[in-house]
Structure 1
Amino acid sequence: MGIPGEIVEIPSDRPDLATVDVSGVRRAVNIDLLDGQPLRPGDWVLIHVGFALSKIDEDEARAALEFLEGIGQAYEDELAALRDSGPGAEG
């Protein structure tokens, strides 16, 4: 399961990582798999266990968030996995 997150920052000294906001949780996410795609703050990505898998548009992100919130516990479990995965946890 992947969850959408909005890119908040891509540090110039670590272009392989982005700070991404997922339902209020800010987290460092590896964006290396999206190499070659232009990414900037405000863009949305689909995330799975600390890795951005694809760039998505805002409408697709909102629809996915609504769906995930509707399924309840599975979404909460995915958010918990996001908090516990990857480099540089930010609460």
Structure 2
Amino acid sequence: MCIGIPGQIVALHDQQPDHAWAQVCGMRREVNIALVGGENRQALIGCWVLIHVGFALSKLDEQEAQETLAALHAMEEVEADVALFLGRGEAR
């Protein structure tokens, strides 16, 4: 299953200009922001992005991000793979 998850950019990486830190389901993860960064990387802080395999693919507004997270959390109860993706489950 291929799935992207919303995360909020909370900080820029000190040593890698195309990387930032995103808050994803309560965990801080390093993501590549080359596809969404543009000229003003600082403006990304606080933005919501759709993350897939460590890459921020696009920007989202907060409402869309929250709705997507709510749908993923609802799926988590019936789909073990989603729980793994959200960092809450264990591999079988």
The answer to whether the aligner puts 1:36 opposite 2:38 as a matched pair is yes
Higher relative contact order (CA 8 A, sep 6+): 1
May I ask how many residue pairs the two structures share in their alignment? 80
Structure 1 vs Structure 2 CA RMSD: 1.7
2:86 to 79, 85, 88: 79
Look up the match of 2:90: none
TM-score (norm 2): 0.76
Where does the alignment leave 5 or more consecutive residues of structure 1 unmatched?
81-91
Unaligned runs of 5+ in 2: 88-92
| Higher helix content, 1 or 2 | 1
Could you tell me the TM-score, scaled by structure 1's length? 0.77
| Structure exhibiting the larger radius of gyration computed from Cα positions | 2
Structure 1 residues 71 and 34, CA, compared in 2 at 3 Å: closer, same or farther? same
After superposing on structure 2, the runs of 4+ consecutive aligned residues of structure 1 that deviate more than 4 Å are none
Q: Percent identity?
A: 47
